[in-house]
Amino acid sequence: MSTYLTPDICVIGAGSGGLSVAAAAAGFGVDVVLIEKGRMGGDCLNTGCVPSKALIAAAKRAHIMRSSARFGIKPCAPEVDFARVHDHIHGVIGAIAPNDSAARFTKLGVRVIAAAAAFIDAGTVAAGGELIRARRFVIATGSSATAPPIPGLDEVPFYTNANLFELKTLPEHLIIIGGGPVGMEMAQAFRRLGARVSVLEMFAPLGRDDPEMSAIVLERIRAEGVEIMGGINIHKVEKAGSGVKVTIEDNGKMSVIEGSHLLIAAGRKPNTGNLGLEKAGIKHDRRGIRVDKGLRSTNRRVYAIGDVTGHLQFTHVANYHAGIVIRAIVFRLPAKISGAAIPRVTYTDPELAHVGLTEEAARKAHGDIKVLRWPFAGNDRAITMHETSGLIKVTATRGGRILGATIAGPEAGEIIQPWVLAITSRMNIKAMANTIAPYPTLSEVNKRAAIRFYHDKMSNPWLGRLIRFLARFG
């Protein structure tokens, strides 16, 4: 071991959250050590958000080629060269990678150590032959895909997001265990690229979302040929020649589904192993590192952010956590997390975006509420695009305070942003109703939904009488 390094901040993990902390701190002239045992950029860049969205983009191009007849353009069956799709995915990763690279962070003034890190006591971390004693530590080690306890699963080859994007041959029949956002995104993408796809979900597919809204997405995916089976029990997984077969029970009936490839998209676990957390007095469990609202662990010198805390597992949440920690460590300002305005998006087609309270949650919390809807079928831009499936659904108190919004429709992930701001700022629905939206845009659905809040007032007979009375005065 060499002599001690004594930076102000030591960040363990170079995923989105860890990189944000390191870059911000270094930008303010703070001495930072960044430790990463794997690839810089973490899961999001290398095996998660970036490659999955690149795959989805390729699949959308194939779908457009098949579905152009409505625009007066002769449709055609795309010839998918999946090896080149693979190259496209990794080209996108390569284009973004320099932003997350060790070279860039070294130029920013960060000491980057490419090694595994572990606490050896409450104030010291060992990594790559170095001992680091920092004023504050930030654990940002993320999470990894986990496999459910299905009999036979450990005896068959299967994919997770960690190795899915290494495929260079299109699966003939992809079986996906897990009908959450990742499972449904990949199901639609691989189907559009030409694979047969079956999704097996023990509970309700997209069950975390408002059922009225998720039904819109699931209907489209089924219409494109994806077999989706929800509420089933998976009894076992076995080899079947060069592929796999899955035995399931559906409403008391046993059946077997055979496929060429198996993808597990059924949960994640925090990366806490081999960090020496016990030696540092950092409490944790299977859900992750235990932190307070300021993201400080049971060791007062150590913070944890992102997936490893067991909070919502999104890149933007990790970045949000990074901002909280920077304010606390660098500026000594009180900062606490709040989950009320954290959006989430499922990048299917149509997209499914949500922020705040669902209708069910809003009724439980506030009792009598108003639910406002507006369909994309009533949006002129959506009509020009032939993308009229879906709607926006907003919950508000009777007094007009915005509680939540869910959008199932084209570009829902972009359209949701004003509602994130509205809920963060505790705005009244009047603010959205008074917003001037450019015409024709998909975002007009926001204003249309907001105006629905006043529908009852517009139909009030007393309002009609008042208008007629005022008309007498010229």
pTM, 2 dp: 0.95
If one counts the domains in the chain, the total is 3
**Residue 452 located in a structural domain:** yes
Residues 442 and 387 in one domain: yes
Residues 291 and 257 in one domain: no
Closest to 52 (Cα-Cα) out of 89, 96, 82: 89
Residues 261 and 158 in one domain: yes
212, 241, 266 - which closes a domain: 266
Residues 291 and 261 in one domain: no
Before 440, cis peptide (omega within 30)?
A: yes
Residue 303: in which H helix or E strand, if any?
A: strand 302-304
Q: Is 416 left (phi over 0), alpha (psi -120 to 50) or beta?
A: alpha
Residues 159 and 220 in one domain: yes
Q: Are 375 and 393 in contact (CB under 8 A)?
A: no
Before 350, cis peptide (omega within 30)?
A: yes
Residues 323 and 448 in one domain: no
Residues 279 and 140 in one domain: yes
- Cβ-proximal residues to 343 (8 Å cutoff; 6+ apart), any chain: 316, 353, 354, 355, 416, 417, 419, 420
**Residue 222 located in a structural domain:** yes
**Residue 177 located in a structural domain:** yes
Residues 252 and 285 in one domain: no
Residues 283 and 139 in one domain: yes
**Residue 108 located in a structural domain:** yes
Closest to 188 (Cα-Cα) out of 48, 344, 355, 52: 52
Tens digit of pLDDT at every position of the chain (474 positions): 458 999 999 999 999 999 999 999 999 999 999 999 999 999 999 999 999 999 999 999 999 999 999 999 999 999 999 999 999 999 999 999 999 999 999 999 999 999 999 999 999 999 999 999 999 999 999 999 999 999 999 999 999 999 999 999 999 999 999 999 999 999 999 999 999 999 999 999 999 999 999 999 999 999 999 999 999 999 999 999 999 999 999 999 999 999 999 999 999 999 999 999 999 999 999 999 999 999 999 999 999 999 999 988 999 999 999 999 999 999 999 999 987 799 999 999 999 999 999 999 999 999 999 999 999 999 999 999 999 999 999 999 999 999 999 999 999 999 999 999 999 999 999 999 999 999 999 999 999 999 999 986 666 666 566 667 677 776
> What is the CATH classification number for the domain harbouring 12?
3.50.50.60
**Residue 93 located in a structural domain:** no
**Residue 466 located in a structural domain:** no
Range of the domain at 302: 4-40+101-144+269-329
**Residue 252 located in a structural domain:** yes
Q: Are 54 and 38 in contact (CB under 8 A)?
A: no
Closest to 22 (Cα-Cα) out of 39, 4, 3, 35: 35
**Residue 81 located in a structural domain:** no
Residues 23 and 8 in one domain: yes
User: For the sheet containing 302-304, what is the strand order?
Assistant: 111-113, 32-35, 9-12, 136-139, 302-304
User: Is residue 86 classed as helix, strand or coil in its secondary structure?
Assistant: helix
Residues 8 and 140 in one domain: yes
241, 266, 291 - which closes a domain: 266
Residues 367 and 415 in one domain: yes
> What is the CATH classification number for the domain harbouring 410?
3.30.390.30
